[in-house]
Amino acid sequence: MLPLYPYGQRRTLIRELIPGQVWSFEQLQGVFYVAVPIRMTVLRVQDGLMLYAPVAPTGEVRDGLRALEALYGPVCTIVLPTASGLEHKLPVPAMARAFPAATVWVTPGQWSFPWRLPSSFLGFPLGRTKVLFDQGLPHAAELHWELLGPLDLGLGSFVEAACVHRASGCLLVTDALVGIGQTPPSLFDGDPRPLLFHARERGNEPLLDTPERRQLGWQRLVLFASYLRPASLEVPGWLEVVADAFAPGLRKSDAYFGLYPFRWQPNWLEEFRALVPDGGVRIQVAPILERLVFPRSRAALLEWIRRLAAAQEVRWLVPAHYEAPVGCSPELLKALADGLEQRPWAPNQGSWAYLASIDERLVRLKLVPGGSAGNDASLKP
């Protein structure tokens, strides 16, 4: 069992992104204190409310949704916009039970691992679950839908359904695009422990809370979430790790009992700045997606971004992780696609080395289809 953060007590930050139109429900989710915010987006549609990428329907979430329902009408549609993102898939059955009158829409190619199970076994309600594109599209007059994939990942497919909400100009995506901020999202204001955990140099340091340490912890957390093992990180021997763990005051669960199996090299901040340059929030493909999901699917990804750029209404990007809303436009999406086409794709060096080693191992074991970077070997017919 993975030590999932934050166990039972899950806070939700509810924000209105576009007045009277779009709302964000954010929760922390992660493994071993690499806790990244996960977002459900709520859209106002003519028939009521549509939930895109549900989060766990805690009491706080249900109360927030009931308050919106009182103003704008019932939750009529629940959308699971990804076939592979487990963190978005798991909350769907519970959210569907919380709103028994809503229609549930899922992307084509839903799959389970290690066993392949029919949809009803994945917890999607029988009789009111529909497949996007195969069985139509919800609120098609108000939303412009574009599908990325299915891309063959070997063990399953990657599929993501984006939509443009014409009324607000919001482009909703799940994992394929993100905008990473310089500073920690306000969701961490209530519980900065994941940030403070990573702000240390050794496991025998206590968790001190200052604005600088929150910032530093955020930068490192982003590097973990982006590269799994950033280039400026050393993993010390377990003997050293366990010795540090015997420092007084650390034998409590908050600090993972003092276990901190990381050493950051002095240049680590440069690695963060290369990923998140100073200035406004930049829209990008998350490195972990580029190197492990899209390494041989650049053409399909670019084509999807360019199809999205054809929607003239786009003003904002609202992804399921990191910042939202991020300023966006058709021109910006076109420039993003051109930039991704011109630079080296899914590299093997520097920050990318660990992700590359995972991909290479999977290809060698024939668990994922091979082919050279940038080719569309993975595109399913």
Residues that bind Fe ion (CB under 5 A): 85, 175
Are 91 and 81 a contacting pair, CB within 8 Å?
Answer: no
In angstroms, give the least distance from the CB of 85 to Fe ion. Answer: 4
What is the largest distance, in Å, between two alpha-carbon atoms of the chain?
62
Are 197 and 255 a contacting pair, CB within 8 Å?
Answer: yes
Q: Measured from the CB atom, is 146 or 175 closer to Fe ion?
A: 175
Are 170 and 315 a contacting pair, CB within 8 Å?
Answer: yes
| Distance, CA of 165 to CA of 193 (rounded, Å) | 35
Q: Measured from the CB atom, is 44 or 89 closer to Fe ion?
A: 89
SS3 321: strand
Q: Measured from the CB atom, is 137 or 289 closer to Fe ion?
A: 289
Q: Measured from the CB atom, is 76 or 159 closer to Fe ion?
A: 159
In angstroms, give the least distance from the CB of 38 to Fe ion. Answer: 6
In angstroms, give the least distance from the CB of 290 to Fe ion. Answer: 14
Helices 330-342, 298-309: axis angle to 10 degrees equals: 160
Query: Quick one: which of 316, 335, 230, 235 has its CA closest to 273?
Result: 230
Amino acid symbol at 360: E
| Distance, CA of 50 to CA of 184 (rounded, Å) | 28
Are 83 and 156 a contacting pair, CB within 8 Å?
Answer: yes
In angstroms, give the least distance from the CB of 321 to Fe ion. Answer: 6
Are 211 and 188 a contacting pair, CB within 8 Å?
Answer: no
In angstroms, give the least distance from the CB of 190 to Fe ion. Answer: 21
In angstroms, give the least distance from the CB of 338 to Fe ion. Answer: 26
Q: Measured from the CB atom, is 142 or 175 closer to Fe ion?
A: 175
Q: Which residues pair with 157 in a beta bridge?
A: 152
Q: Measured from the CB atom, is 175 or 244 closer to Fe ion?
A: 175
Q: Measured from the CB atom, is 88 or 296 closer to Fe ion?
A: 88
Tell me whether the omega of the peptide bond preceding residue 114 falls within 30 degrees of 0, making it cis. yes
In angstroms, give the least distance from the CB of 82 to Fe ion. Answer: 7
Burial of 63 (0-12, 13-18, 19+ CB in 10 A): exposed
Q: Measured from the CB atom, is 37 or 85 closer to Fe ion?
A: 85
Amino acid symbol at 212: E
Q: Position of tokens 């993102």?
A: 85
In angstroms, give the least distance from the CB of 173 to Fe ion. Answer: 10
Residue 127: both structure tokens together: 């009789």
Are 164 and 137 a contacting pair, CB within 8 Å?
Answer: no
